[in-house]
């Protein structure tokens, strides 16, 4: 039973990491417009959209962004 719990937790953690890394990727067209540091300092903007940092949010014209988590 403990092995099953570890397996499920591990799979969930791996999925969260993959999704998080995917959020850092930008399309070539976006990369041509903006050059942002690959620093993870997430911000939440209008409509609950989360970006990996303020630079990425600005490049995507997001409004009313606030930092998420303790700094």
How many domains does the chain divide into?
A: 1
pLDDT confidence of 64, banded at 50, 70, 90?
very high
Helix/strand/coil for 44:
strand
The closest of 69, 64, 40 to 56, measured between CA atoms, is 40
Cβ–Cβ under 8 Å, residues 52 and 40: yes
Per cent of the chain over pLDDT 90 is 48
Domain that holds residue 38: 2-67
- CA separation (Å) from 25 to 8, 32, 37, 66, 70? 26, 13, 12, 21, 24
The per-residue pLDDT for range 32-43, each reduced to its tens digit, is 678 999 999 999
Structure confidence by residue, pLDDT tens digits, 4-48: 667 666 666 655 565 555 555 666 665 567 899 999 999 999 999
């Amino acid at each position: 039973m403990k092995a099953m719990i570890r397996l499920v937790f591990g799979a969930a953690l791996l999925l969260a990491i993959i999704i998080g890394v995917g959020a850092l990727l930008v399309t070539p067209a976006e990369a041509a417009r903006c050059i942002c540091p690959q620093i993870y300092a997430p911000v939440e903007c209008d409509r609950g959209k989360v970006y990996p940092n303020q630079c990425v949010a600005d490049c995507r014209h997001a409004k009313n962004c606030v930092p998420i988590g303790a700094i």
